Structure 1
Amino acid sequence: MMIRTAALALLLVSTAPPALAQTSQAHTPLPAPTSLPRPLPPIPAPQDVDYPGTIGIRVDLTDLARKVIRTRQTIPVRPGPLVLQYPKFLPGNHADTGPIQLVSGLTVTGNGSRIEWVRDTVDPHAFHLDIPAGVETIDVDFEWLTQPDNSTWRVVMTDEIVNLQWEKALLYPAGYNHSRITFAPSVVLPEGWNYGVALDTVSREGSVATFAPISLEHLADSPMFAGRHYRRVEIDPRGEDVHLNLVGDTAAAIEITPEWTAKYENLVQQADRLFGARHFDRYEFLFGLTSRLGGIGLEHHRSSENTAAPNYFASATPAFGSRGLLPHEYVHSWNGKFRRPSDELVPNFNVPTQNSLMWVYEGQTEYWGDVLTARSGLGTLEEAVVNLAEIAGFYDQQPGRAWRALQDTTNHNLLGYRTSNPWPSWMRGTGDYYREAALIWLDADTLIREATNERKSLDDFAKAFYGVEDGVWEARPYTFEDVVEHLNAVHPYDWATFLRERLDAVGPDAEAPLDGLERAGWRLTYVDELTPVEKRMMGGWANDFQYSLGFTLAGGNRIAGVRWGSPAFEAGLGHGWELVAVGDRVASAEALRAAVTAAKGGSVPIRLVIKRGDAFRTVELPYHDGLRHPRLVRIEGTRDRLADIFAPRRR
């Protein structure tokens, strides 16, 4: 059954409201702001009951100069204790990243009088109030102080574009599942602007757009890209349900050619053929062509937030990662949103999320995103192979597996949301449950193909696991056991052991999961010369000495990304040293490449002069294997299963 927004809203508001969950507590007036602190009542746990009434929310996006977003909410209430929560665990962030630090000016009134609030002393995302007798609705006003640069939080407002993420611009009553709280949203836009969003527009009067009532769960899953320069492009080969919503820094940035439109139509068609069902009433790609808005690639059930360079459509070959972004986020509609890990399916945005199945949620999405990039024509087979070579080379040379299993990296966001560190090769992190996990799914795909004489593949798993209940866009949870069961239905095998051996591998002898490459008819090797396509895709190749000396030469000849255990590491080099000289030559990437090449097969060490602050050192690196860059080469006489996997499906 197709669950559409209007029908959902009607269901929510027509249900007879039960007693307000929070009125079961005794009425205890809150202390005045000048009182000494005392224990506050506990925050009510979410219950699977309807919140009585509909919460109005109007978000004003017009203060572009100061980059301030203003919110007014009208919340039906009853007398007694009330806790309002600011979303903390944000979907797609897999961590407690709700930017409560940017909420200011919080003011609550009822019947024209101010109602004081007290912040919870344990959870700063919660605000306690006492609603006086006779007050049936309260007005809640506050500002979201968005940031002028990307140093801490990404930029979401520019003079040309606003990226509204509703969950960062609202409060909601504690004690209820977010699927049982109904919001009636509207926005105030800058004059002359238009927008893309997966909400149903009820009216547009001047600068005010009003949308159909919707649950908090789906409101938070329906971001908006609004812009001075906007275009909506139909890309659904089956009808009118999938669109590109383009916003740009300039009008020229959103000038899409018929060739690009055809590729995105192919993407939608190839996804239909892969999964065999859709789990949305419509899908809105929100695509910002901008250098001013903060970069993003974030999944939602019926839309996604994406950005690329302003010249994306004008470029002959935009970055492969940019071309693969929309396919990746589109796959999430099936994997992560419709089929969702059971420990990600929490009752509201302030219940902690767990990430134990990120290697499916993100890892298999990474795999299918790369596959659909090639099948749609957004990328070529050659580019797909080069991309796999980069991934394989990185994990083939990653020392961090000696102490940390891939499974543990799924906790990385909870340890500190995408925090940087100077030793990524040793620490491991977020990217591993994307890219290393993608190698595991390639391994599974090729195993099925080989064992069934090409009659079955991971495509069959995708259709059986994700391609059910066509039209339904309510989440369906899955567990590790569910994944194993569906793999066994495609091809009987000890899939539980197969997965756990790769996820839990740890120790000095643990190896990267490269079996799938060899089974696909390809072998990882290292070369000292690159093809034009490899140079284009490995954009920093000229400064990349990761697989030789063990570091990258960054701007200003600064040493960065020293690989743990590499020749550079063993010589005592760390992040931030400056390369001053290579032998008797002034430092440069060219001089360093020449020195590495000259030392190949010899016995004379490579001599470097380095500087940190006012201290200089001379180090000698006993390295003689030449320049090394990863490449996949065909294994003679084997079937090319990568060509099979990346080939477009005809039905």
Structure 2
Amino acid sequence: MSRLLVTACTAALLIAAGPALAQSIGTGAGPTAQNIGGFADSPAIPAPTAATYPGTIRYEADITDLDHRVISVKQTIPARPGPLTLLYPKYLPGNHADSGPIQLLAGVVITASGQPVEWRRDAADPYAFHLDVPAGASEIEVSLQWLTQADNANWRVVMTPSIVNLEWEKAILYPAGYVSTGIMVEASVKLPAGWNYGTALTTVSHENDVARFEPVDLYTLVDSPMFAGANYRRIDIDPSGDDVHLNIVSDEPGNIAPTAEQLGLYENLVTQTDRLFGARHFDHYEFLVALTDQLGGIGLEHHRSSENTVAPDFFTNWGRSAGNRALLPHEYAHSWNGKYRRPADELTANYNVPTENSLLWVYEGQTEYWGDVLSARSGLHTLEQTRITLASRAAFYQNQPGRAWRNLQDTNNHNLLGYRVPGQWGSWMRGTSDYYDEAALIWLDADTLIRERTNDRKSLDDFARAMFGSGIEGSDGVWVPNGYTFADVVAALNGVTEYDWATFLRTRLDATGPEAEAPLDGIERAGYRLIYVDAPSAEEKAMNGGWGSDFQYSLGFSLQGPNNRIGGIRWGGPVYAAGIGAGWDLIAVGDKAATPEVLRTAVTDAKGDTAPIRLTLKSGSRIRTLDLMWTEGLRYPRLERIEGTPDRLADILAPLRR
């Protein structure tokens, strides 16, 4: 396939697109003292315009302070005398929220010609810094530190003794009043001695442990993070060229040991994704993969790369990694859905203009669907493993009481209510996972409906090509993003087969109460039904973390940790009805000390019996004894084949041959 390689012309291409991009995404400013009433000492924060910022910012990061876990940055910013406002990124791409960790920014010192320049934080918006560039100055220097954290309690770990995950937006200030494509940055990184790295940026030089990169606009810089490490390997996995790579870092060098068979599966992933979308909207793509239990967990999409953490033995204990193998396919599919094409209300002018998330059920939900499909088509998952994932997802939503009050559309706002804030009552609150997983069920519903209506001549694959891939003429190799709306989604579906797609989608997105049944029609149309069994298979245990402590669909909770903490309590379930909330540990089942196995045996023995299951629980100094009446035994979800119907699920998951 022909591809327009966008390397040295990248900056010119995106800057040229800046005015059109700004018009299509809006240029609204964030809150200021004036527009919320008060704080006379804070000037207005300039709204982003399509103008190009004069000059190129020099950005120098030092990631060598591994002992203190501190990343130090020096920026040289061209500047004219007079007022200037610098912004710290607030709304982070892929987070869909105002999650910029400004609390970890410290040591902000600004100078001009070696003399201090006073700065003052905006009184209403703490992400803005106001200053006056002195007369005669042509640039300012900004120094700062990103105080990364030693544990994942509040922010994820990004520095370990052998790995650093450098995300530029976490340690940068940029001039207000400009779109992100209109600000040029020339970046360099000082690395620990002997380290190497992966990034989508183009390296100009790597000498004396300093890597220097080709200048890019701020948008591209933020979209091109780095994984650096003492143990590093870059592997070509592009069967049709040399444009897609695994960049692997690891806590231990021996873990970077993918087999030829494993690498073949990732080559299959690249091939199957090419066949699905029909075009590539990048010049090259870099999977950044950390094999670690020390770095914080992440799966984050970028246009030409992705950040991914997996278990240290991901390759060396391949059988144990099955449940996490859909991560890279999901993030790769985001290059098409989420980066090249993304909801128009998320195409903000810069990182301090509020995002809206009305279409996350497409951005994340359909990508979740394609992640599962591509995992199967590439061989990373077997058909049975994919059916297990689907059964687990279907059972969760079939048993979700929160559907009574909160519709799926509203869960798209969850990140804006508090970035992925966990709650004690997830089954009642609903949240982030819903616009991924429930939406994936909706897209299975749409796929099977298209296949049924067209006698299996067309499918959601045709929608993917039209919406995200080769259906966009002249897009092969071009990676300037463009937005889509709900109307665009409906039009693309109608382009595959005429149907009342707007009603189809809105019914599933907006329903609450008795009308809000889990969207399981696609499973039946695919040739299966959801059932429950009393004993999971070995494959089901492997895919679902053992399932040995999961009693969600029987007693309505899970056992967590060595103290058998009662967690994940299902709202309205048996243990909830007995008055149990958060903070209780199970200490005995009948007259036996509690273990998951003892509880499983008790639930099994009580099946069809009239005797209650006696549980003894402890919370602090309190002890409670419960007699639970549950006679249906253990229940684990499974998909059962509906005989005499087309196995459309097998068709969906079969590798594409063209």
Q: TM-score range by the shorter chain?
A: over 0.9
Pairing 1:83-94 to 2, within 5 Å after superposition: 83-94=85-96
| Range moving further from structure 2, 238-247 or 202-211 | 202-211
Whether contact under 8 Å (2:245, 2:286) holds in the other structure is yes
- Residue 642 of structure 2 corresponds to 635
In 1, the alpha carbon distance for the partners of 2:12 and 2:451 equals 47
What do residues 100-138 of structure 1 show as CA deviations (whole Å, max 9, x unaligned)? 011111111111111010000111111000011100011
Match of 2:33 in 1: none
| Structure 1 counterpart of 2:527 | 521
Q: 2:322–2:542: 8 Å Cα contact kept in structure 1? A: no
Please state how far the C-alpha of 1:605 moved relative to its aligned partner.
1.9
SS at match of 1:318: helix
Cα distance in 2 for partners of 1:537, 1:14 equals 47
- Structure 1 unmatched runs, 5+: 18-36
**TM-score normalised according to structure 2 size:** 0.94
User: Residue in 2 aligned with 1:646?
Assistant: 653
Aligned to 2:35: none
Given that residues 552 and 561 in structure 1 are in contact (C-alpha distance below 8 angstroms), is that contact kept between their aligned partners in structure 2?
A: yes
- Distance change (3 Å), C-alpha of 1:437 and 1:481: same
Distance in 2 (alpha carbons) for counterparts of 1:296 and 1:565: 33
**Alignment match, 1:140:** 142
Matches within 5 A, 1:317-332: 317-332=319-334
Letter in 1 for 2:51: V
Query: Aligned ranges for residues 361-380 of structure 1 at < 5 Å?
Result: 361-380=363-382
Q: C-alpha distance in 1, partners of 2:228/2:414? A: 32
Aligned amino acid, residue 334 of structure 1: W
Pair 1:91–1:594, CA change in 2 (3 A): same
Q: In the alignment, residue 213 of structure 1 is paired with which amino acid?
A: P
Aligned to 2:181: 179
Return 5+ residue gaps in structure 2 as ranges.
20-38
Aligned twin of 1:32: none
Name the SS for the 2:123 alignment partner: coil
Paired letter, 1:640: D
Determine whether 1:548 maps to 2:561. no
What is the CA-CA distance between 1:2 and the residue it aligns to? 3.2
Q: Paired residue for 1:495, among 492, 498, 501?
A: 501
Instruction: Give, in whole Å, the separation in 2 of the partners of 1:637 and 1:508.
Output: 31
Quote how far apart the aligned CAs of 1:532 are: 1.1
Q: How far 1:586 sits from its partner (Å)?
A: 2.0
Structure 2 counterpart of 1:168, one-letter code: K
The match for 1:580 is 587
Q: In the superposition, relative to structure 1, how do residues 221 and 501 fare at CA in structure 2: closer, same or farther (>3 Å)?
A: same
Q: Is the 8 A contact 1:596 1:627 kept in 2?
A: yes
Further displaced range: 6-15 or 356-365: 6-15
Q: Deviations over 1:535-571 (max 9, x none)?
A: 1112241111100010111121211111001111111
1:7-53 Cα shifts (integer Å, max 9, x gaps): 133568999x9xxxxxxxxxxxxxxxxxxx84211100000110011
Cα deviation, residue 59, structure 1 = 0.5
User: Do structure 1's residue 531 and structure 2's residue 537 form an aligned pair?
Assistant: yes
Question: What do residues 183-231 of structure 1 show as CA deviations (whole Å, max 9, x unaligned)?
Answer: 0111111111111000011112211111111010010000000111110
> How far is the alpha carbon of 1:328 from its aligned partner?
0.3
CA distance in 1, matches of 2:329, 2:75: 36
One-letter amino acid of the counterpart of residue 610, structure 1: L
Aligned to 1:610: 617
Secondary structure at the aligned position of 1:526 is classed as strand
Q: 1:316: how far off?
A: 3.2
DSSP 3-state at the match of 2:649: helix
* CA deviation string 1:255-292 (max 9, x = no partner): 22111111110000000000000010000000011111
Does the 8 Å CA contact 2:300/2:307 hold for their aligned counterparts?
yes
Q: How does 1:42-191 map to 2 (within 5 A)?
A: 42-191=44-193
In the alignment, the residues of structure 2 paired with residue 490 and residue 94 of structure 1 have an alpha-carbon distance, to the nearest angstrom, of: 30
Is the 2:508–2:516 Cα contact (8 Å) retained in structure 1? no
Matches of 1:476 and 1:346, distance apart in 2: 11
Aligned residues of 1:527 and 1:631 also touching (Cα < 8 A): yes
Q: Which secondary structure state, in structure 2, belongs to the residue aligned with residue 542 of structure 1?
A: coil
| Cα contact 2:340–2:479 (8 A) shared by 1 | yes
Is the CA contact 1:12–1:50 (under 8 Å) kept in the aligned structure 2?
no
Please say if residues 341 and 468 of structure 2, whose CA atoms lie closer than 8 Å, have aligned partners that are also in contact: yes
Q: Equivalents in 1 of 2:483, 2:12: separation in Å?
A: 25
Q: How does 1:388-467 map to 2 (within 5 A)?
A: 388-467=390-469
Q: Any residues of structure 2 matched to 1:205-354 within 5 Å, and which?
A: 205-354=207-356
1-structure distance, mates of 2:258, 2:299: 20
**Percent pairwise identity:** 64
Paired residue type of 2:275: R
- Structure 2: distance between partners of 1:557 and 1:226: 38
Amino acid at match of 2:623: F
Amino acid at match of 1:290: T
Between the aligned partners of 1:257 and 1:197, the Cα distance in structure 2 is 23
Q: Post-superposition shift, 1:319?
A: 2.9
The CA distance in 2 between the partners of 1:13 and 1:46, in whole Å, is 14
CA distance in 2 between partners of 1:398 and 1:144 (Å): 40
| Residue range with higher mean Cα deviation, 204-213 or 451-460 | 204-213
Q: CA deviation at 1:626?
A: 0.8
What is the CA distance between 1:509 and its match in structure 2? 4.4
Once residues 291 and 69 of structure 1 are traced to their aligned partners in structure 2, the CA distance between those partners, rounded to angstroms, is 21
Q: Deviations over 1:547-603 (max 9, x none)?
A: 001011112121111100111111101122111221222222122112211211122
- Give the CA RMSD over aligned residues: 1.5
Equivalent in the alignment of 2:627? 620
Contact 2:185 2:216 in 1 (8 A): yes
- Tell me which amino acid in the other structure corresponds to 2:209: S
SS at match of 1:47: coil
- Confirm or deny: 8 A CA contact 1:274 1:462 kept in the other structure: yes
CA contact (8 A) 1:364 1:437 kept: yes
Amino acid at match of 1:636: E
> For residues 629 and 420 of structure 1, what CA distance do their matches in structure 2 show?
25
Q: Following the alignment from structure 1 to structure 2, what is the Cα–Cα distance between the partners of residues 9 and 618?
A: 67
Show the counterpart of 1:566.
Answer: 573
CA distance in 1, matches of 2:232, 2:503: 50
